[in-house]
Amino acid sequence: MSVDGKTHRLAELLGQYGRVAVAFSGGTDSAFLLHSALRVLGAGNVVALTAVSELVPRPDLEYALAWPGRNGFSGFQVEQVVLQPLLWKELVQNSKRRCYFCKLRMYQEFLARLHGRDFPFLLDGTNLDDLKDSRPGLQAIHELGVQTPLVETGFSKPQVREASASAGMDSWDKPSGSCLATRIPHGRPISADLLQWVEQFESGLHRFGFSGCRVHLHEQDNERVYIQLMQDDIEKITDPSMRLAVNRFFHKQGIHQIFLDLQGR
């Protein structure tokens, strides 16, 4: 089925829901879902909820909060749900089930925020391509009865981007994101210091022009990091002057070995 056909099917499905809440991160998928819900149902029948915590980079939160105004919904505001994930023992332990525990807790908080407000459906922006990966958080989504309309209507990630671009949304080409905890290897306990460290590193690379980058910490020590860049940026960092500048930045932070993922993102 064409993207236009799937967009029509999505509109029909959203119309059946009637009143919805959208788990909104500001990423391409949740933005397309929110945009579709607002267009089909109207702002009075839609709530957007975004998580606020140490796991979310500040620029990502600011991007999400400003998204409605930038995309033609100036009277619509995203609701912030403040979480305290560092008090969740199962998340801090950072096992391979971390994403399950985090998604479960976060969406339980979202559902609690909706209690008594006549928004019977919470929607998540999972797409078909997400089902191909190992994503423990998907189990939590299913357990809580959260709806995944992009999956139901057959949207892949490229199709979400195509439909978003056709609709004139500025988030159509936004690099895929994830919370800061994903940069800390499983088994290494998560702390506020490590999360702040990661955010500081990635902010530094952003200032060098490497948008969409990720900086992963080492399993044990604090002197090594692993950098992932967008594929188009790999050649850029090999320029001698850029490589020197990046090395200096990390060395000032106490990092003495910087490894680059040549595959990119």
Candidates 127, 110, 136, 141; CA nearest to 47 is 110
> Angle between the 192-207 and 240-252 helix axes, to the nearest 10 degrees?
150
- Residue 133, pLDDT > 80, answer no
Task: State how far Cα 82 lies from the chain centre.
Answer: 16
How far apart are alpha carbons 94 and 13 in whole angstroms? 37
| Residue 164 DSSP one-character state | H
In the chain, the domains with their CATH numbers are 3-166 (3.40.50.620), 191-260 (3.30.300)
- Render pLDDT for 41-86 as a digit per residue (tens, 0 to 9): 999 999 999 999 999 999 999 999 999 999 999 889 999 999 999 9
Entry field: residues in the chain: 265
What confidence category does residue 38 fall into, taking pLDDT thresholds of 50, 70 and 90?
Answer: very high
Task: Characterize the bridge pairing of strands 46-52 and 121-123.
Answer: unpaired
Cα dihedral sign for 193, 217, 228, 64?
negative
Mean pLDDT over 105-112 rounds to 97
Place of tokens 């505001």: 77
In this predicted structure, the answer to whether residue 134 has a pLDDT above a threshold of 80 is no
3-state secondary structure of 52: strand
Q: What is the pTM of this model?
A: 0.91
Q: Say which residues have a Cβ less than 8 Å from residue 234's Cβ, sequence separation at least 6.
A: 260, 262, 264
Pairing mode, strands 20-23 and 46-52 = parallel
Q: Are 259 and 226 in contact (CB under 8 A)?
A: yes
Residues 184-210: pLDDT tens digits?
Answer: 999 999 999 999 999 999 999 999 999
> Does the pLDDT value for residue 7 go beyond 90?
yes
In sequence order, the β-bridge partners of residue 226 are: 216, 259
Nearest to 199 by CA among 212, 187, 215: 215
In this structure, the strands spanning 257-260 and 46-52 are: unpaired
Three-state DSSP state, 212 = coil
The reported pLDDT for the residue numbered 264 is 86
Percent of the chain residues past pLDDT 70, beyond the cut: 100
pLDDT digits (tens, 9 = 90+) for 70-81: 999 988 999 999
pLDDT at 8: 95
* Share of residues in the chain with pLDDT > 90 (%): 87
Lowest pLDDT segment from 97-101, 164-168, 175-179, 242-246: 175-179
- List the end-to-end C-alpha distance of the chain, in Å, as a whole number: 28
DSSP string, 213-244: -EEEEPSS-SSEEEEE--GGGHHHHTSHHHHH
- CB burial class (10 A; 0-12, 13-18, 19+) of residue 133? exposed
Q: Tokens 């879902």 — which residue?
A: 33
> For the residues 235-253, what does the mean pLDDT come to?
94
